[in-house]
Amino acid sequence: MGSNNTCLRSIRATLMLVVGFSAAGCGGEHLMLADTIEVRDLGAVRQAFLSAPVVSPDGGNVIYLQQMAGTTPFPVMSRDMNTRAERRLFSVPAGSALWTANDRAGTLLFSVPNASGSGRHIREYALDSTIVHDFAEVNGSDDTHATVSPDGTGLVFVRIAGTSRWFMSADAADDSSVPTQRSQLLFNETVLSVHWLDNQRVLLSAVFNGNTTSNQVRYRNSSQTDFLSFPIGSWATAGPAGRPIASLFNGPDNWRLSELDGASMTQITNSQSFKTQLNWSADGHVLVYQTSDGLTATNLEVALLPPLK
């Protein structure tokens, strides 16, 4: 296999970046990048449908949900970012999906099939397989794209029931809390990603009719929805405090960093692969995502950003 560098197919491109970031609600923090960004191909995966890889709490591994045939439980796998060594952490029911990590608690947010009837509900696991929270099942509802606020108190997710789609909020620490319908989505709106901008606002990236990007700011405690007309791309994903927005632009698909209003746009990847399912690490040092050749091959990839200046 050769050296680790060869095995990882590390791509180093010296990108001289100067990106300032001071979105509303983020204080006066700024991101200044003027260093090498390293992009690493971590090899092939069989990732569960619609699942997103996440960075482990220690920042050294990528965690993903492996697709299995039939009713075989899906393994939660951890792959080392340096060696690509892999180990199984635990398994979840077949048909589950992994969405995000709760960075404050070091846990993982899944959709898992309901025990009775149809649909899925939100379940939070610790890395040792302990079920930390098992939120209520609603027969016929598919609860997806779960994410916990930076302060650990708020849970938001998308509920799909027939042609109805709702942005929901709940108490992240109380399994028995009744989720609240905050704002409705259109029946032809497919949600790509949901991530927090701060402890009250959420950046939701979606597409209409399969091809028209719609980036929106939704609110944890109100029905307000702000539709963004700014030129940020699809799969728009807010990073931790001090980091900008990462989003995807076509021709070919590549990640770019920008402010929420699209200012200071800077491309950080440069390849022909299709890229989806993005998550930031808790420290804002790593972007992890899925790549595809558009046919059958699916890989994990990470972009390593320099520390905040």
Instruction: Report if residue 309 sits inside a domain.
Output: no
Q: β-pairing, 86-92 with 74-80?
A: antiparallel
* Residue reference for tokens 């060696």: 83
pLDDT exceeds 60 at position 21? no
pLDDT exceeds 60 at position 297? yes
pLDDT of residue 251: 57
Tell me the three state secondary structure of residue 34.
coil
Tokens, residue 257? 């960093």
Q: Which of 2-6, 177-181, 292-296 has the highest mean pLDDT?
A: 177-181
Interatomic CA distance for residues 42 and 302, integer angstroms: 7
pLDDT exceeds 60 at position 54? yes
pLDDT exceeds 60 at position 15? no
- Closest by CA to 96, choosing from 105, 86, 109, 87, is 109
Instruction: Report if residue 36 sits inside a domain.
Output: yes
Region 148-169: mean pLDDT is 96
pLDDT of residue 100: 98
Interatomic CA distance for residues 275 and 286, integer angstroms: 15
Percent over 90 (pLDDT), the chain: 71
pLDDT exceeds 90 at position 143? yes
Tokens, residue 304? 């390593």
**Structural element, H or E, at residue 160:** strand 154-161
Residue 89 confidence class, pLDDT cut points 50, 70, 90: very high
Region 21-49: mean pLDDT is 66
The parent domain of residue 252 ranges over 4-304
pLDDT of residue 246: 94
255 contacts 239 by C-beta, under 8 angstroms: no
Provide the number of structural domains found in the chain. Answer: 1
Give the angle subtended at the CA of 248 by the CAs of 250 and 122, to the nearest 5°.
Answer: 130
pLDDT tens for residues 211-220? 889 999 999 9
CATH of the domain at 9: 2.120.10.30
Q: Where are the beta strands (DSSP E) in 188-258?
A: 189-196, 201-208, 212-219, 225-227, 234-238, 245-249, 254-258
Instruction: Report if residue 21 sits inside a domain.
Output: yes
Quickly count: other Cβ atoms within 10 Å of residue 10's Cβ: 13
Region 99-110: mean pLDDT is 97
Residue 5 confidence class, pLDDT cut points 50, 70, 90: very low
pLDDT exceeds 80 at position 58? yes
- Mean of pLDDT over the chain: 87
Tokens, residue 37? 């960004």
Query: Which range, of 183-192, 217-226, 260-269, averages the lowest pLDDT?
Result: 260-269
Interatomic CA distance for residues 147 and 143, integer angstroms: 11
Interatomic CA distance for residues 248 and 268, integer angstroms: 10
pLDDT of residue 35: 55
**Burial environment of residue 130 by CB neighbours within 10 A (0 to 12, 13 to 18, 19 or more):** exposed
Query: Which range, of 30-39, 229-238, 256-265, averages the lowest pLDDT?
Result: 30-39
pLDDT of residue 287: 96
Interatomic CA distance for residues 213 and 223, integer angstroms: 21
Region 238-259: mean pLDDT is 85
Region 186-211: mean pLDDT is 93
Residue 309 confidence class, pLDDT cut points 50, 70, 90: low
Residue 3 confidence class, pLDDT cut points 50, 70, 90: very low
pLDDT tens for residues 201-237? 999 999 988 788 999 999 999 999 999 987 799 999 9
pLDDT of residue 55: 97
Query: Which range, of 29-33, 95-99, 192-196, averages the lowest pLDDT?
Result: 29-33
pLDDT of residue 265: 86
